[in-house]
Structure 1
Amino acid sequence: MPEITVLMPVYNASEYIRETIDSVLNQTFKDFEFLIINDGSTDNSEEIIKTYSDPRIRLVNNEKNMRLIATLNRGIDLAEGKYIARMDADDICLPTRLEKQYKVMEENPDIALCGTGIKMMGKKFFQPLVMTDPKQIRNVMRVFNVFFHPTIMFRKNILIENEYRYDPRYLHAEDYQLFQLMSEKHKLTNIDETLLLYRLSPGGISRVHNTEQQTMTYTITTEALKRIGINFDRNQYADRYLTKEQILEIKDTLEQIYRVEALHNEEIKDVLNWLWLDLSNRGSHHGVWMLKTYKALELIDTKRLNKAMVNKFYLKCLLKK
């Protein structure tokens, strides 16, 4: 039995798949199976995969195009490794990715999921927020996702014992829904290091289905908030740029929730701080007004948040003055 299953769905990925496969096979960590599930590709992806003779590759062909969610769930069932590492067919693993994630998981048996930082190919100045503290991650995950799906390594027994799967009801945000649900019961972390090169594809979900993905993301957030007693419809404030009237309405609502739910509940205080910062970012175009309004909220405590993220918000407001 291998220590790790690298799970990679493939659909018409012939342009980049050879580079991707090579990056997995050239890992410094060697004890893995490379489970590649060909999801009914109509190009020559399958032929390219079959040119490899490495015994760690296990090619499985779906009888028909099952699409991503069903293919990932099939992969979880087929995986033989103690851990399952996700991989997309057009990204590149840096050589020590599996080694470093394996080390974290082995040394921390209470960690259910470990992600890593990424570098977006073609974007020089993209610096993603990489959070590592499980407690902070649990709270912020009720507001937004802090994991990059292709970097994830799962502990398989936790997926099986808790019947965790990607849920088709949350199409285009199924990864966030799964990670968020896991974070409520288990510790999740990231390695604050770039261990995967992420390719921005013109046909990627975040581009082609951006509106649907955003709606589903905010639905997940709303449900997660409600489970801890915060009744706040995130989809009601889905605009990219919120008006001053919307910001003030949000402020009043969060103040009421704070007085009723959060005075003696530190978790709810944390979550409300993250929610207010996230929504205030959508009002940063109001400049100093937004900054003053942000600080005026009764519950605000920036020590509960990521310092770099708060500073970035402040800068955005000041540059719009």
Structure 2
Amino acid sequence: MPKVTVLMPVYNGELYLKEAIESILNQSFKDFEFLIINDGSTDSSEEIIKSYGDSRIRLVNNERNLRLIATLNKGLELARGEYIARMDCDDISHPKRLEKQVKKMNSDESIAICGTGFKVIGKHGLKPLILTDFKSIRNYLHIGNCIVHPSIMIRKSILRKNNYYYDPLYTHIEDYELFVRISKKYKIVNLNKNLLHYRLSPNGISRQFSDKQYERTFNLSEQALQNKGIMLNRKPYMKLQLQKIEILQAQQEIKNILTSSNYSEYDINEILRFLWLDVCTRGTSNGLSILRTFYSFKELKVRKLPKSYQIYFIIKCLIKRKKPY
């Protein structure tokens, strides 16, 4: 049996498919099967896949278009590897991606998922922020997703033991929901290395359904916070740009939660710090005044946030970006 199954769903991916396939076939780590599930493509995707004579490619054709979640779950069932690495048909993996992820997974049997850093193809500027510590990742997942789905490697035995699959009730945020569920019991880590070149395709899920994805992410976050005992309505703070008065209102709500006798544990405090950072990041168009407001929240000890996150926020305030994300 192969050590790794690389799982890649394909639906009408002819434009960038060759680059994606070759980036996997050229990996320094060789002990893998490349499970490609063609989800009813009507373009030349199947012909492109069949043009490669590499025996590690295992092509499965869906009889009809099952869509992403059903196709991913089918792939989890069919995977023969000890680890399952996700891949999208328009991205490019670094040649050492599998090698480095396998090494990390081998080092700690309690790691369920290992993601990586990434670069956005065709974009230059601030480096995307990556959390690496599993506790901070678990805490941040109460606020939003901090794992790049096509970068992950999953331990199959943990999926089987717990019957973990992508939940069709969470269309467009199925990865985020799965990460939240798994993080309750197991470690999720990131390698702070850019091992994936990520493509923002105009036909990608996050572009086609961005509004629904955005709203559902907030709903899941609110649910996760409530499960932790943090009763905060996030809906008033969903906007990409918040006014100063809205940020001060959020500060008072978070302060009320923080001063409650039940909120003294470290995890709760870190979750609230990430929440406060998220709120203030939506007000960076206000410039230095929001920077001062952010650091004025002494009770929250915001300087304990990762330095990279603080620097990123400071830069946004200084350049007064119109959109925080």
Alignment TM-score, normalising by the size of structure 2? 0.95
3-state SS, counterpart of residue 203 of structure 2: coil
Quote how far apart the aligned CAs of 1:116 are.
0.7
Quote how far apart the aligned CAs of 1:233 are.
2.2
Quote how far apart the aligned CAs of 1:316 are.
2.3
2:6 is matched with 6
2:260 is matched with 260
3-state SS, counterpart of residue 176 of structure 2: helix
Which one-letter code corresponds to 2:153 in the other structure? M
Count of matched residue pairs:
321
Quote how far apart the aligned CAs of 1:64 are.
0.8
* Alignment root-mean-square deviation, CA: 1.5
Measured against aligned partners, the alpha-carbon deviations of 1:152-193 in whole angstroms (never above 9, x if no partner) come to 000011111112111122211111111122112111111111
2:108 is matched with 108
1:293 is matched with 293
Distance 1:261 1:18, change over 3 A: farther
Unaligned runs of 5+ in 2: none
Quote how far apart the aligned CAs of 1:317 are.
2.3
1:129 is matched with 129
3-state SS, counterpart of residue 136 of structure 1: helix
Measured against aligned partners, the alpha-carbon deviations of 1:132-161 in whole angstroms (never above 9, x if no partner) come to 111111111111211111100000111111
Tell me, in whole angstroms, the C-alpha distance in 1 between the residues paired with 2:303 and 2:240. Answer: 26
1:142 is matched with 142
Quote how far apart the aligned CAs of 1:280 are.
0.7
1:49 is matched with 49
1:227 is matched with 227
Alignment TM-score, normalising by the size of structure 1? 0.96
Tell me, in whole angstroms, the C-alpha distance in 2 between the residues paired with 1:122 and 1:264. Answer: 44
**More displaced 10-residue stretch of structure 1: 229-238 or 78-87:** 229-238
Q: Identity, % of aligned pairs? A: 50
Distance 1:307 1:262, change over 3 A: farther
1:204 is matched with 204
**More displaced 10-residue stretch of structure 1: 155-164 or 301-310:** 301-310
* Pairing 1:37-76 to 2, within 5 Å after superposition: 37-76=37-76
3-state SS, counterpart of residue 300 of structure 2: coil
Quote how far apart the aligned CAs of 1:236 are.
2.8
Instruction: Check if 1:77 corresponds to 2:71.
Output: no
1:181 is matched with 181
1:271 is matched with 271
Tell me, in whole angstroms, the C-alpha distance in 2 between the residues paired with 1:182 and 1:302. Answer: 27
**More displaced 10-residue stretch of structure 1: 167-176 or 266-275:** 167-176
Q: Contact 2:5–2:32 (CA<8 Å) still a contact in 1?
A: yes
3-state SS, counterpart of residue 264 of structure 2: coil
Quote how far apart the aligned CAs of 1:296 are.
2.7
Tell me, in whole angstroms, the C-alpha distance in 1 between the residues paired with 2:236 and 2:40. Answer: 39
Q: Contact 1:222–1:232 (CA<8 Å) still a contact in 2?
A: yes
Distance 1:74 1:287, change over 3 A: same
Tell me, in whole angstroms, the C-alpha distance in 1 between the residues paired with 2:46 and 2:35. Answer: 13
Which one-letter code corresponds to 2:129 in the other structure? L
Q: Contact 1:229–1:261 (CA<8 Å) still a contact in 2?
A: no
Measured against aligned partners, the alpha-carbon deviations of 1:259-290 in whole angstroms (never above 9, x if no partner) come to 11554221111100110011111012222322
Tell me, in whole angstroms, the C-alpha distance in 2 between the residues paired with 1:90 and 1:315. Answer: 31
**More displaced 10-residue stretch of structure 1: 42-51 or 97-106:** 42-51
